Structure 1
Amino acid sequence: MSSARRSVSAKRGLLAGVALLVLSWTGAAQAQGKPMAQGAVSADGLKPGELYMEADLVIRDDKTKVTTAKGQVEVRYEGRTLRADELVYDEARGVMTAKGEVQVIAADGSVEYADQLVLDDAMKAGAARGFSARMPGDIKLAAASAIRRNENVNELNRAIYTPCDICAADGTTPKTPTWSIQAEKVVQDHAHQVVYYRNAVIRILGAPVLYLPVFWHPDPEAERKSGFLPPKFGASNRRGLSYEQPYLQVLSPSSDLTLSPQINTKVNPLLNAHYRKRFYSGALDARVGYTHDTDFDGKGNPFGQDTSRSYVLASGAFAINDKWRWGFTAERTSDDLLFDKYEVGDVYAARGPFIADDRRLISQVYATRQDQKSWFSAGAFTIQGLRPGDNDRTFPTVGPLIEGRWEPGTQILNGRLRLLGSAVALTRDQSTLNTALPGIDSRRVTGEADWRATFTSTAGLRISPYVNIRADAYSLGDLSGMSSTSKSLARGLAVAGADISFPLARRFKTSTVVLEPVAQLAISPKVKQVVVGYTAAKAPIFLNEDSIAFEFDETNLFRANKFPGYDLYEDGARFNVAGRASMFWDDGRRASLLVGRSFRDSDDDAFTTTSGLSRKASDWIVAADAQPMRGVSFFTRARLDADDLSIQRAEAGANVSVKRGSGYFRYLRNVADANGSKVENLDLGGELYLSKHWGVTAYGNRDLVQDAWVIRDLGVVYRDECTRIDVIYRREDTVIGRLGPTESIAVRLTLATLGGPMYAN
């Protein structure tokens, strides 16, 4: 309905006050701090400074200077929308009032509700009755009344706060939130990005569980804020009852410090600290821990003298310019079993380009340069071993380690040419074979040229010829079992050959099948390996610093030189061959199988007898993977003996991810590893939800050679939209050094907005 008294002049008196009200409460400071760009257009089609208003009736009283809009009032301004039954602007008093089912909708989707909302024209103070809000992150606030003290402080009386659902799935039936905080008074301080509570009661499923006279947590709108993070509870027969309470201290917009004291009933506390800082060119990340205590066994029984025990896990990575980068890692501990005793997590992570084995720490410094044609890196590192029997003096100090490659911008003989170079120096204190002798020192310089081209016929036959030429120079010292303690040598290496494949494809009604025979021919002159000593049986011991962990499988079947490092080299004539079959269904299912082996003109004693490559005909290589349905995939690879097809090494795994949960398993069997020991291990885990909120989790690692579990975890989990609780029982049966089997229970509690993703920013 329109009124004859509605006019443009009547609207004009209302517009200034309406703009203030639309920008009220929690969105005011944000809207002022982030004005629309000049010429920009908001989602509602309005330019900066433009205001749109609708109402059934607008009345202007020129005598009292009061303008009133009534009936389905809607105002849009600066990306925000105000809706109310009635708007009144008292120009003389500078007061704006919205009445009747008031809503203020922000551009981010957050909504504020009130029965009545009043604001002064300076936008510094105001009040609301029957106030509630739905904020980003699905956070809900409700209060009997709300007072806006100024642009930074809002005060709520008789309030409740929760990020949990308050309505059932049908959207109409009320629901008791999983957890909530009720308080006599709540103060939201935008300037300090903190929410304070007075006389707060924390409720779980509506029942009061904790009363706090004073309580606070970071403002949900804050990107980062100092405060307590979720605690960690646990109990074990090593440390007794354990409580760890992390506290995040924001030091600056680019740095923070997390202190996590771990309090134990059987042993002394361990203080953990985690410092992070971002620079304009990179970032620094450092974790340290310290305690002063005696040693203790797997039952928590102390022995020995009190002493300081500590660890450091630090890394940094920085950009010098658009091509150069440098960085470092520092990983050390005073006690080989410190991480196991105090259950320090995320220890053996990759923090730099050089990576150590599991249960070993690496400290390194490095620099790299990369552009479109070249790559260069230089670094140095040392290793600390934490495995039983590790002797750090037998580990080499590596430095410098230099690698580089360069490619011309144009093709050479219709192929790609790559020039490579590397150099490394290794120094050992003790011999790995006899600790009474000094360790072997070695220095190597290598230059290499690699050319490869690819030609494809019209029938689909693909031929890739290649040539690789390499020169090595070695300087060796502290040799044992040789006629002299040092020597220098040089050698030239070369390989030439071609990769050949001929894929054949056949289309069926709902699938495609690809059969692909693959072959590789490689020819190299005989190479004299670098000998550093002899066994008691007068067999030569070859220098091998960089190919110790070599495994023959489908990933290196078609490598011209199967050794991953430089010290050992594959020579002679060899022919690598395989057949690959793949099937792809239109609905996303797939499967593939590869079978292959390698043939050579003579035996090669550079390969160990357990590698599967030392004889003229290698072991068989089999690899398969498949995804038979959505969310389910598996893989397997195996090496079969060339004579009787017995399994020499096998690895298999599967991943499952369905609506009710997810899981995986990994199986590894190796008849003889690099040390000649048999390995057979099973690793599996997953979680299954028995209902919408309740589930079970499990993890297990079993040593099948010892016929014993290494670790067993069994847990119960509850989760909903705002809470996750994990209760996990763990038993470790392995004996690590002086630590025997142990049992523990851990409780992990995560509450949305009180230790959720916001703390990871």
Structure 2
Amino acid sequence: MSRGRRPVSVKRGLLASVAVIVVAMAAQAHAQAPAKPGPDGLAPGQLYMEADLVIRDDKNKITTARGEAEVRYEGRTLRADELVYDETKGVVTAKGNVQIINEDGSVEYADELTLDDQMKAGVATGFAARMAPSIKLAAATAVKRSDRINELNRAIYTPCEICAKDGSPKTPTWSIKADKVVQDRDRQLVYYRNAVIRVFGAPVLYLPLFWHPDPQAVRKSGFLTPNIGISNRRGLSYEQPYLQVLSPSSDITLSPQINTKVNPFFNGRYRKRFYSGAVDARFGYTYDNDFDGKGNGFGDATSRSYVLASGQFAIDDKWDWGFTAERTSDKLLFDKYEVGDVYSARGPYLADDRRLISQLYATRQDQRSYFSAAAFSIQGLRPDDNDRTFPIVGPLIEARWEPESNIMGGRLRLLGSAVALTRDQSPTGAPPLHLPGLDSRRVTGEADWRATFTAPVGIRVSPFLNVRGDAYSIDDLNGVKGTSKTLSRGLLVAGADITWPFVRRFSESTAILEPIVQVAASPSAKQVVVGTNATTGAPIYLNEDSVAFEFDETNLFRANKFPGYDLYEDGLRVNAGGRASVFWDDGRRASLLIGRSFRNESNDVFSTQSGLRQKSSDWIVAADAQPIKGLSFFARTRLDSDDFTVQRAEAGANLSMKRANGYFRYLRDRANANGTKVENLDLGGDLYLTEHWGVTAYGNRDLVQDAWVIRDMGITYRDDCTRVDIIYRREDTVVGRLGPTESLAIRLTLATLGGPLYAN
């Protein structure tokens, strides 16, 4: 037997020569070729031991390490006050402040621990563990049957903090206490026997058998957080999602919704990833009759369903293709059963609010070119929508190409576009006249050139030239089936943008004053006429792609202000304005833009409410500011060119601070695209009165009707492992047959137990 003592200050230098022990594991591998060392410098099968004192009993093959003892093997590190390694039995015994640090970063603690020589199996007393994400386990005793299965007796589990900020013990927000807990990493499950769920230390639920996914599992089948609510329409409602993992690349979530006033509603979601893309499909189904805002049924029972699906796939590094499929059997289905996240972007083409779009598309893109081909159709869910008046669009082709080198000192871009629209019924007439709908086809070729030159005094001149050719074929003019026309036109615009920015530096800020002038000229454009107004005899122009056009600061300096192809701005015009900006060194900022457009003659292609029809346009004013960190404002308005009355105004603010966040939006339009007045207010936010407790509110008010559309008020509790939301909602608007309604919803999110806030 030999003894060795080394000073702590030099022990790591000495260990390289005297304390690296290649034990039985190395003997088993001595005949094999040398393996590449791992991150810890040890080859597979090697064991590294160090301590203040190492005692070696050669006769009995026992090695004892005392004082800051440490063993590293196969990526694991074992630390203790004393380690005893018996080579004959292949057992490591650790005593006092025992720690095992695993490869994944999790740490296990014990008062005393006995392990096999590979540190994969063993028995511990006074056991505890800390795993990602913030999981804590503690037990009187623990049996580590392998590196995949742990058994804990008289154990407690919690993802919550158990220590206060000052280091004192703290009762976790919630925990699970059980006679036995088994962590099976192969099955990715944690099992409990005689489990008691405690909230703030008080027992609230006893379960003889309970299990949930292993918090370290990437995905695992199991129940997700339920949705509980009560409303006038459906009564008491309970929806319980269940996630079933089908394969490493696919899963399905089934969410039956049980209601006391109406029949159950079944929601589902299927997701699958492929080597080149992914599919995401949501669906729902019920068999029931229709019902009003108070849950009173009427009419015949029938199948009612919806689908919201999308997919996108890469063909190669340049080509992609994808689809969306969005349809419902009932315009009010999403409102009746409170199906959320309906009107979101699932593909490149977007429909308006309360409208669904199904599309098929393919795109190709590289640094110099872009090409897309698509087809889509729209289903309207607004009360006055008639799907027969919406066109089927297809094909819709867009292409762009830029040569690598400059042309005449500027950038040249070649563009192409083609579209075909087929409409079953004309939207004209009140009540509808059920006339055949207008069908149109268009092919466009375009060349766009632009350059920028800067004079020594700072004046910047950007000349531009755009040449375009269109060809149209139109059927069923004026709602008369069989009437058709074809036409072609050439369009040209030439001009220049002229700016002269003045910059002034102050002690803590920079100010920029920038006058902007754009001059553009076009020959008289050949507009596409598809009919005449029966009352005034004025021509009706084809306008499929600029219906929602608004004149504001985003298009003030566009040579052709129409966003689409059908309508075209012509004549001689000057767009003039000025922008003033101030940027502070600490991040604050403010800017103001004022401008308007002038033309040599009025243009009746613009609508009367656009503010652009006369020789002098309405005034455009836009401002934004960030006076302090986390708070920003914006405002934009269009003022009448003669008396400065407000034609359209929009304003808003955003707040994002440690304990508060919120926003508000105000919109006022004297006459929108449909000629009706719009004025509404939209606001919402959260305010945390303490570290954990807060209130939340949301409201949307129609100021024309002088009524709230929706009001939400709620109370929120949150901490490191729990979030509870209790939300009261009142909807005052009448959508179809659904009248005003009130509802109360409860959302509970628990860390590691399927909640969306923390779930893997």
TM-score, normalisation: structure 1: 0.94
Say if 2:214 is the partner of 1:214.
no
Where 2:334 maps in the other structure, the secondary structure is: helix
Task: Tell me the distance in 1 between the aligned counterparts of 2:399 and 2:128.
Answer: 63
Say if 2:489 is the partner of 1:494.
no
Aligned runs of 1:709-728 on 2, under 5 Å? 709-728=708-727
Task: Tell me the distance in 2 between the aligned counterparts of 1:643 and 1:17.
Answer: 96
Pick closer, same or farther for the CA change 1:14–1:414 going to 2, 3 Å.
closer
**1:75 Cα offset (Å):** 2.9
List per-residue Cα deviations over 1:195-252 (Å, max 9, x = no partner): 0111100000010000011111111111111111111110001000011111111111
Contact 1:654 / 1:666 at 8 angstroms: preserved in 2?
A: yes
Amino acid at match of 1:602: E
Task: Tell me the distance in 2 between the aligned counterparts of 1:96 and 1:481.
Answer: 91
Amino acid at match of 1:121: D
Amino acid at match of 1:417: L
Amino acid at match of 1:488: T
Aligned runs of 1:161-240 on 2, under 5 Å? 161-171=157-167, 173-240=168-235
Pick closer, same or farther for the CA change 1:39–1:519 going to 2, 3 Å.
farther
Task: Quote the residue 2:272 is aligned against.
Answer: 277
Task: Tell me the distance in 1 between the aligned counterparts of 2:253 and 2:175.
Answer: 26
Say if 2:686 is the partner of 1:690.
no
Where 2:138 maps in the other structure, the secondary structure is: strand
**Which of 243, 247, 262 matches 1:248?**
243
Where 1:559 maps in the other structure, the secondary structure is: coil
Task: Quote the residue 1:126 is aligned against.
Answer: 122
Task: Quote the residue 1:565 is aligned against.
Answer: 564
Q: Is 51-60 or 626-635 further displaced after alignment?
A: 51-60
Where 2:566 maps in the other structure, the secondary structure is: coil
Contact 1:604 / 1:615 at 8 angstroms: preserved in 2?
A: yes
Task: Tell me the distance in 2 between the aligned counterparts of 1:287 and 1:303.
Answer: 28
**1:48 Cα offset (Å):** 6.7
Where 1:433 maps in the other structure, the secondary structure is: coil
**1:272 Cα offset (Å):** 0.5
Task: Quote the residue 2:613 is aligned against.
Answer: 614
Contact 1:10 / 1:67 at 8 angstroms: preserved in 2?
A: no
Task: Tell me the distance in 2 between the aligned counterparts of 1:447 and 1:124.
Answer: 70
**1:104 Cα offset (Å):** 1.4
Pick closer, same or farther for the CA change 1:557–1:387 going to 2, 3 Å.
same
Q: Which runs of 5+ in 1 are unaligned?
A: 21-35
Task: Quote the residue 1:535 is aligned against.
Answer: 533
**Which of 74, 77, 91 matches 1:95?**
91
List per-residue Cα deviations over 1:579-605 (Å, max 9, x = no partner): 000001111110000000000011100
Aligned runs of 1:317-396 on 2, under 5 Å? 317-396=312-391
Task: Tell me the distance in 2 between the aligned counterparts of 1:80 and 1:18.
Answer: 15
Contact 1:14 / 1:89 at 8 angstroms: preserved in 2?
A: no
Amino acid at match of 1:383: I
Q: How many residues align?
A: 742
Contact 2:19 / 2:48 at 8 angstroms: preserved in 1?
A: no
List per-residue Cα deviations over 1:338-364 (Å, max 9, x = no partner): 000000000001111110000000000
List per-residue Cα deviations over 1:509-538 (Å, max 9, x = no partner): 111110000010000001121111111221
Aligned runs of 1:137-156 on 2, under 5 Å? 137-156=133-152
Pick closer, same or farther for the CA change 1:60–1:50 going to 2, 3 Å.
closer
Pick closer, same or farther for the CA change 1:229–1:19 going to 2, 3 Å.
farther
CA-atom RMSD, angstroms?
2.2
Amino acid at match of 2:150: N
Contact 1:153 / 1:187 at 8 angstroms: preserved in 2?
A: yes
Task: Tell me the distance in 2 between the aligned counterparts of 1:707 and 1:113.
Answer: 64
Amino acid at match of 2:387: D
Contact 2:73 / 2:118 at 8 angstroms: preserved in 1?
A: no
Task: Quote the residue 1:647 is aligned against.
Answer: 646
Where 2:335 maps in the other structure, the secondary structure is: helix
Pick closer, same or farther for the CA change 1:633–1:38 going to 2, 3 Å.
farther
**1:400 Cα offset (Å):** 0.5
**1:95 Cα offset (Å):** 1.6
List per-residue Cα deviations over 1:609-650 (Å, max 9, x = no partner): 100000000000000000000111010100000011010000
Q: Is 394-403 or 477-486 further displaced after alignment?
A: 477-486
Pick closer, same or farther for the CA change 1:601–1:558 going to 2, 3 Å.
same
Task: Tell me the distance in 1 between the aligned counterparts of 2:36 and 2:723.
Answer: 45
Task: Quote the residue 2:462 is aligned against.
Answer: 464
Amino acid at match of 2:401: W
Aligned runs of 1:410-559 on 2, under 5 Å? 410-434=405-429, 435-480=433-478, 485-536=483-534, 537-559=536-558
Task: Quote the residue 2:702 is aligned against.
Answer: 703
**1:110 Cα offset (Å):** 2.5
Amino acid at match of 2:610: S
Pick closer, same or farther for the CA change 1:293–1:335 going to 2, 3 Å.
same
List per-residue Cα deviations over 1:92-151 (Å, max 9, x = no partner): 222211111101123554321001111223656311111001111111000011112234
Task: Quote the residue 1:24 is aligned against.
Answer: none
Q: Is 388-397 or 92-101 further displaced after alignment?
A: 92-101
Amino acid at match of 2:279: L
Task: Tell me the distance in 2 between the aligned counterparts of 1:730 and 1:609.
Answer: 40
Task: Quote the residue 1:604 is aligned against.
Answer: 603
Amino acid at match of 1:492: G
**1:759 Cα offset (Å):** 7.2
Task: Quote the residue 2:9 is aligned against.
Answer: none
Task: Tell me the distance in 2 between the aligned counterparts of 1:86 and 1:19.
Answer: 23
Pick closer, same or farther for the CA change 1:342–1:758 going to 2, 3 Å.
closer
List per-residue Cα deviations over 1:400-444 (Å, max 9, x = no partner): 111101111111111111111111110111111043210000011
**1:758 Cα offset (Å):** 8.2
Amino acid at match of 1:335: D
Task: Tell me the distance in 2 between the aligned counterparts of 1:193 and 1:175.
Answer: 29
Pick closer, same or farther for the CA change 1:73–1:297 going to 2, 3 Å.
same
List per-residue Cα deviations over 1:543-599 (Å, max 9, x = no partner): 000000000000000111000000000000000001000001111110000000000
Task: Tell me the distance in 2 between the aligned counterparts of 1:416 and 1:37.
Answer: 58
Pick closer, same or farther for the CA change 1:681–1:665 going to 2, 3 Å.
same
**% same residue:** 74
**1:78 Cα offset (Å):** 5.0
TM-score, normalisation: structure 2: 0.94
Pick closer, same or farther for the CA change 1:112–1:533 going to 2, 3 Å.
same
Task: Tell me the distance in 2 between the aligned counterparts of 1:315 and 1:582.
Answer: 43
Q: Is 175-184 or 98-107 further displaced after alignment?
A: 98-107
**1:458 Cα offset (Å):** 1.5
List per-residue Cα deviations over 1:17-70 (Å, max 9, x = no partner): 8999xxxxxxxxxxxxxxx9945644xx76776654332222222333322112
Contact 1:602 / 1:615 at 8 angstroms: preserved in 2?
A: yes
Pick closer, same or farther for the CA change 1:264–1:118 going to 2, 3 Å.
same
Task: Tell me the distance in 2 between the aligned counterparts of 1:477 and 1:560.
Answer: 31
Where 1:480 maps in the other structure, the secondary structure is: helix
Task: Tell me the distance in 1 between the aligned counterparts of 2:193 and 2:528.
Answer: 77
Q: Which runs of 5+ in 2 are unaligned?
A: 7-13, 28-33
Pick closer, same or farther for the CA change 1:758–1:514 going to 2, 3 Å.
closer
Where 1:361 maps in the other structure, the secondary structure is: strand
Task: Tell me the distance in 2 between the aligned counterparts of 1:538 and 1:439.
Answer: 21
Task: Tell me the distance in 2 between the aligned counterparts of 1:710 and 1:69.
Answer: 74
Task: Quote the residue 1:30 is aligned against.
Answer: none
Where 2:478 maps in the other structure, the secondary structure is: coil
Q: Is 544-553 or 747-756 further displaced after alignment?
A: 747-756
